[in-house]
């Protein structure tokens, strides 16, 4: 098998200003054959090797054009690249032993890597962000920190990480490229995004500071794709393994798609493949997806 590093294009230092970054991105986007992608999915797989059978079955049934994966929980050398290529998916990866890990898969094309880490803190070695040009769209796969227990250093890291993401998202948006930020943001943005309960009141996922950070990220320039089409519906993407939360449909919406305005205008459908969560040995997340027209 070809070593993983040879499959991932080297990341170069970004240009100094927004105009140059935009030009650089447009080159990468246009070099990736220019076909607009239609179906984009995000899936916190919670250990890609352990859930590989479920992942492949879902890929065959749903056939997404692009998949953002989180919580790979595997070093690069142990990632199941050959099995996924057999299904027609090529990818860029950033694995990490035991925890974290993110990837972007594309069906029938090669993603062009643009970034393997969230800028703003060179000391941060956690594998939580990867970005690539895929068929004319810039796609980021995001695994934001959980932040528990709070208060404490893990919660401080979560808020600082989300602030870095906001700054980078603004920089990306100013390039004028069509962009999708997809993944597990580890925030349930409103009370509509968590089942009616008091049991999570102390959890970092729903703290006012976490929700405020998510609101600042979305701002007026990004569209929360799922909520934009389902403004009043309780939609969940995560059900904890404890206390029969799957059986009780006691879920949270933690997995999101943020779209630039040009892509938001093309959004025609969103969904969550809930049945995947009910399979034997399932991840505690279900795949979510959007369709562009």
Cα 280 to the center of its chain, rounded Å: 24
Contact 224, 218 (CB under 8 A): yes
CB-CB neighbours of 180 under 10 Å = 24
d(CA 231, CA 210): 20
CA nearest neighbour of 29 among 182, 175, 217: 175
CB-CB neighbours of 259 under 10 Å = 24
Residue 108 backbone dihedrals phi, psi, to 5 degrees: 75, 10
Instruction: Output 50-56 pairs: Cβ under 8 A, ≥24 positions apart.
Output: 50/281, 51/281, 51/282, 51/283, 52/80, 52/83, 53/281, 54/276, 54/279, 54/281, 54/282, 54/283, 56/83, 56/84, 56/87
Structure token pair of residue 95: 């694995």
d(CA 152, CA 50): 31
Contact 94, 111 (CB under 8 A): no
Catalytic annotation, residues: 143, 184
């Amino acid at each position: 098998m070809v070593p993983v590093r040879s499959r991932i294009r080297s990341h170069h230092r970004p240009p100094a200003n927004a105009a140059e970054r935009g030009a650089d991105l447009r080159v990468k986007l246009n070099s990736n054959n220019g076909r607009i992608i239609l179906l984009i999915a995000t899936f916190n797989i919670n250990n890609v090797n352990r859930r590989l059978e479920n992942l492949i079955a879902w890929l065959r049934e749903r056939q997404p054009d692009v998949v953002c994966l989180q919580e790979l929980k595997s070093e690069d050398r142990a990632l199941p690249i050959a099995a996924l290529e057999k299904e027609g998916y090529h990818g860029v990866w950033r694995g990490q032993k035991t925890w974290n890990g993110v990837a972007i898969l594309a069906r029938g094309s090669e993603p062009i890597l643009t970034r393997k880490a969230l800028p703003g803190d060179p000391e941060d070695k956690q594998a939580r962000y990867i970005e690539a040009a895929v068929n004319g769209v810039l796609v980021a796969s995001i695994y934001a920190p959980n932040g528990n227990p709070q208060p404490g250093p893990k919660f401080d890291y979560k808020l600082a990480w989300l602030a870095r993401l906001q700054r980078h998202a603004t920089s990306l948006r100013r390039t004028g490229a069509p962009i999708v930020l997809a993944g597990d943001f580890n925030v349930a943005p409103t009370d509509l995004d968590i089942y009616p309960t008091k049991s999570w009141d102390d959890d970092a996922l729903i703290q006012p500071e976490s929700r405020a950070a998510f609101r600042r990220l979305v701002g007026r320039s990004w569209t929360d794709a799922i909520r934009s089409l389902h403004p009043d519906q309780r939609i969940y993407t995560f059900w904890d393994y404890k206390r029969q939360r799957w059986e009780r449909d006691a879920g949270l919406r933690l997995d999101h798609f943020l779209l630039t305005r040009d892509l938001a205008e093309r959004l025609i459908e969103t969904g969550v493949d809930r049945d995947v969560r009910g399979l034997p040995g399932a991840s505690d997340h279900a795949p979510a997806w959007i369709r562009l027209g």
